Structure 1
Amino acid sequence: MRASPLFTGFVYIFLGILFTFFAIQNVNQQGWGFFSYLLVLLATIDFGAGIRMTAFHFITKKKKNKSD
């Protein structure tokens, strides 16, 4: 069984929040280093993918309802 794009989007957004939290903790403890930038990059990618998957869910749902 495949996961819906809405669920996948929420998982990506959750991961983005988690990576953002870890990045903030890392910057507070050690300052801006390679690992901090890597965490921010991962959070950005996850937020983008989460928003895209959530939008995809609502667009396909709208098209499906329009064709019915």
Structure 2
Amino acid sequence: VDWFETPSALQNRVVDLERQVPQLQGQLDLLLRLQPYAPRPVAPPLAVAQPPPADPAPALPRSAE
């Protein structure tokens, strides 16, 4: 990570992140307020049929040595 190299770059990154916090909190609040109005699926997704498991390979007889 390039901004981790110098203290001033790290401080600038912290300031940028602190500036973004209120915006992200506002977006989260909006999403939470809109959640009751979100469309819900009519039915759960259909299960996908799985093929039966393959038979394990037969063991090869070992030669007596």
Q: Under a length normalisation based on structure 2, what TM-score does the superposition of the two structures give?
A: 0.37
Higher share of residues assigned helix: 1
Greater C-alpha radius of gyration:
2
Tell me which of the two structures has the higher relative contact order, counting C-alpha pairs closer than 8 angstroms and 6 or more residues apart. 1
Q: Under a length normalisation based on structure 1, what TM-score does the superposition of the two structures give?
A: 0.36
